[in-house]
Amino acid sequence: MKMKSVVIRTNDIQKSVAFYEKVLGFSFETMISAAPGKQIAFLLDKESCAKIELLHNENSTAVPSNCVSLTFEVEQIGEAEKFLTENKVRIISSPRTIKNGKKIMTAVDPNGVELDFIEE
């Protein structure tokens, strides 16, 4: 078994696509209309081959944000913090050192999805 993708529900699909493309470097692949009022955007991280599906349903008002988080490996946590700050990404937990000397920082995307950045 292998994971195919992560699905993130969003109230603003265009804002979410722009965030994942411009801030996190994902490549937009395609967008489909899965049903009336339901759109799915597919994005790919070419370096890791990880895939994200952004799902927007006009008939749904609630978007659960605490049911998923994404983790990204970075070379230098300080540079990642600077980049996120410059791109007006809200950091909810500043860089800190955890066990084995790893450094971690947590931010959120436009939907409130937690994004962990780890320097190994």
Q: At CA 116, angle to CA 110 and CA 118, rounded to 5?
A: 145
pLDDT at residue number 1: 46
Q: Write out the residue limits of the CATH 3.10.180.10 domain(s) in the chain.
A: 1-63, 66-120
Under 8 Å between Cβ of 21 and 43: yes
Would you say domain 1-63 falls under CATH 3.90.1170.50?
no
pLDDT in tens, 82-103: 999 999 999 999 999 987 889 9
**The domain 66-120: what is its CATH number?**
3.10.180.10
Low-confidence ranges of the chain (pLDDT < 70): 1-4, 61-67
Between CA 16 and CA 23 the distance in angstroms is: 10
pLDDT at residue number 67: 66
